[in-house]
């Protein structure tokens, strides 16, 4: 006699899903409009219909290991056409958000990122850290704030050599390690049971797959066109990505130029060092300003797009606005620090730079648990899908 498998729903998972943006999940009555309307859903085993019923049943393990959740481009077409207002696109976004928070430890970080209640702690950690540095350095130097005479030099109160740079180096490598652990866990959850048969009998080169993915889809944002345009959102994403690339390049060049001589000269290798502040006509500084310009254009586009989405009854969550808010603070305090330094307004320059350090710490240190983590996790999922011979369409 055959034993029928029993499905045990996870009621707590359903409640959590509803709390992080999936409150409309129970409205779905399986009409399949979402799967038919989706311009990139595959004809075989299409999404998001099956994900909607899994969510209603509380099949947590199946949803958190479902690669289709990551192939969805979240254009919102399915939500716009849903006759019941179940908002399938928002449900998939909420599932991804839940996955981010549970991929890596410590577990309390995911809880802090889940609602505005955790914001004071998230801000407080770097705020106390950098305030302590400020007070200690000022005490050791016997310098009252604001500094009397001379130009604004942020290194005088936030020395890079033995405080700021080492802290951010540790934070950066912590973030990289967490992403490595998270991607490894995510891909393991996608792995099919049994062996994999590759088309043509040849195993794909993972590096080639990743490069093709970047060139074909990620850099040109091709899926934005496939999903019907979304010009404002596409411009916002593109400018934000390239702005981040430019600013990350500047950070890397400055770090290498500053610390390179420290480590290489004892080995007899001499390289040209870089010291800040740099001239506004320095190529590295020009790239930084171009990156900042791209970032503000991208932020405006994404913010307006998010506001319009909220007006269309696709309610954004704290998780959505947290990311935009932190990036806005990073940009405004970064540009503000530069302008106030050039104007030599000490009373404002140092506090604004302090807030900039706090916001940059929040952006980098919490990245594996934030929505910006989808740049890594979704890229890994898309690459793995191609590796297995699957594509989003």
Q: What is the pLDDT of residues 244-291, one digit of tens each?
A: 888 888 888 887 777 777 676 677 677 676 766 677 778 888 888 888
Has residue 76 got a pLDDT over 80? no
For residues 79 and 25, the answer to whether their CB atoms sit within 8 Å is: no
- Structural domain boundaries enclosing 121: 108-175+213-377
Domain annotation covers residue 246: yes
Specify the DSSP element, H or E, that contains 235.
helix 231-264
Nearest C-alpha neighbor of 330 from the set 244, 249, 239: 244
Has residue 177 got a pLDDT over 90? yes
Has residue 333 got a pLDDT over 90? yes
Domain annotation covers residue 148: yes
Domain co-membership, 21 together with 169: no
Domain co-membership, 117 together with 84: no
Domain annotation covers residue 180: no
Has residue 392 got a pLDDT over 70? no
pLDDT reported for residue 361: 94
Domain co-membership, 166 together with 263: yes
Domain co-membership, 33 together with 150: no
**CATH number for the domain harbouring residue 56:** 1.10.1060.10
pLDDT reported for residue 216: 75
Domain annotation covers residue 182: no
Domain co-membership, 228 together with 345: yes
Domain annotation covers residue 202: no
Domain annotation covers residue 389: no
Domain annotation covers residue 208: no
pLDDT reported for residue 5: 57
Distances (CA, A) of 328 to 102, 150, 297, 356, 357: 26, 30, 11, 11, 13
For residues 237 and 224, the answer to whether their CB atoms sit within 8 Å is: yes
Domain co-membership, 366 together with 303: yes
Has residue 393 got a pLDDT over 50? no
Q: List, in sequence order, the alpha helices (H) in 312-369.
A: 318-343, 346-365
Domain co-membership, 90 together with 236: no
pTM: 0.81
Number of separate domains in the chain: 2
Domain co-membership, 266 together with 285: yes
Domain co-membership, 222 together with 287: yes
Domain co-membership, 151 together with 240: yes
* Mean pLDDT, all residues of the chain: 80
């Amino acid at each position: 006699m055959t034993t029928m498998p029993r499905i045990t729903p996870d009621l707590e998972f359903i409640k959590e899903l509803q709390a992080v943006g999936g409150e409309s999940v129970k409205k779905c009555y399986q009409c399949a409009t979402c799967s038919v309307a989706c311009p990139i859903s595959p004809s075989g085993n299409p999404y998001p219909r099956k994900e909607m019923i899994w969510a209603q049943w509380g099949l947590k393990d199946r949803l958190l290991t479902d690669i289709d959740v990551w192939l969805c481009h979240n254009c919102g077409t399915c939500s716009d056409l849903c006759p019941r207002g179940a908002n399938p696109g928002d449900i998939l976004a909420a599932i991804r958000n839940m996955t981010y928070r549970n991929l890596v430890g410590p577990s309390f970080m995911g809880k802090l990122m889940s609602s505005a209640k955790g914001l004071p702690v998230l801000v407080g950690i770097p705020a106390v850290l950098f305030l302590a540095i400020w007070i200690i350095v000022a005490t050791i130097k016997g310098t009252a704030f604001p500094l009397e005479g001379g130009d604004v030099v942020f290194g005088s109160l936030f020395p890079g050599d033995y405080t700021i740079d080492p802290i951010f180096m540790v934070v950066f490598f912590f973030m990289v390690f967490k992403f490595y652990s998270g991607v490894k866990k995510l891909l393991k959850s996608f792995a099919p049971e049994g062996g994999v048969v590759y088309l043509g009998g040849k195993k794909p080169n993972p590096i080639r797959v990743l490069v093709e993915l970047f060139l074909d889809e990620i850099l040109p944002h091709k899926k934005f066109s496939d999903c019907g345009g979304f010009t404002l959102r596409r411009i916002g994403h593109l400018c934000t990505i390239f702005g981040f690339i430019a600013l990350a390049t500047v950070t890397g060049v400055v770090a290498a130029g500053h610390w390179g001589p420290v480590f290489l000269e004892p080995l007899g290798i001499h390289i040209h060092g870089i010291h800040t502040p740099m001239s506004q006509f320095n190529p590295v500084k020009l790239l930084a300003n171009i990156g900042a310009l791209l970032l503000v254009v991208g932020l405006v586009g994404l913010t307006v797009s998010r506001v319009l989405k909220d007006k269309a009854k696709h309610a954004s969550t704290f998780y959505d606005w947290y990311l935009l808010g932190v990036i806005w603070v990073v940009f405004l305090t970064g540009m503000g620090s530069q302008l106030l330094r050039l104007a030599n307004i000490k009373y404002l320059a140092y506090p604004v730079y302090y807030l900039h350090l706090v916001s940059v710490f929040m952006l980098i240190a919490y990245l594996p648990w934030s929505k910006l983590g989808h740049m890594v996790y979704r890229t890994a999922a898309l690459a793995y899908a191609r590796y297995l011979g699957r594509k989003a369409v």
